[in-house]
Homo-oligomer: A and B are copies of this chain.
């Protein structure tokens, strides 16, 4: 199973429009530091699933028919805004699987076009090709799922964004899942009152509490990047800040 971080940014991304902090200046100067809307691609030889749809250029990135499904964590615009254009396609249907959310986003439900919206249930696995997804409730301002993804060989990857902390049942489920790698919301530098998202110490301690084999911090805000540039804060060797375009072959064999 190959995971590609297509976007690793918090809402607004990096550089943030109008900002000249050190992180935003760096991203203007060096495109490698740009952070786009948070999303990832999970692939096997026969299956290709897009995790979240906030990138505005989905229609040019993905040839028609090349996506097995789109799996959504939640319906905030920075995670679904790319669907507003993509839906107007013709000649195909794309399953779009996410949490039940009566609101959705804008008029997506009213005019779904080529999108086939389906609601998943918490802890009820569903399959897309040879990938199995288990929806795990997260803690956010809209109904939100993380996903535990497992391929046919038992390689395991958890994608947990957007969230602040983890519900006890989600923590329990993951702690009994065996060996896995995790991508986790880490929007903010250390702050006393983070809201809706993990800050750095919370994200780092969650990866450790999960006993994940590897951890990737994502959904990064410009303040976290600037803070990290200034402090070079230490991370355990198995935890890394993700970058747009980073690819990871999840090849740890399950115990």
A residues in contact (CB < 8 Å) with B: 11-13, 16-20, 37, 56-57, 59, 64-65, 76-78, 81, 84-86, 88-92, 105-107, 113-114
Contacts and interface: CB of A to CB of B under 8 A. Distances in A.
Nearest to A60: B17
Nearest to A86: B17
Contact of A59 (B17, B90, B113): B17
B59 A56 contact: no
23 contacts: A11-B88, A12-B88, A12-B89, A12-B113, A13-B88, A16-B88, A16-B90, A17-B64, A17-B86, A17-B114, A18-B89, A18-B90, A18-B91, A18-B92, A18-B114, A19-B91, A20-B91, A37-B85, A56-B56, A56-B57, A56-B85, A77-B84, A105-B106
Given A13-B88, A17-B88, A19-B91, 18 more contacts: A12-B88, A12-B113, A13-B85, A16-B90, A18-B65, A18-B89, A18-B90, A18-B91, A18-B114, A19-B89, A19-B90, A56-B57, A56-B81, A77-B107, A78-B84, A78-B85, A81-B85, A106-B106
B16 A89 contact: yes
A106 B54 CA distance: 14
Contacts of A76: 107
Nearest to A77: B84
Contacts of A11: 88
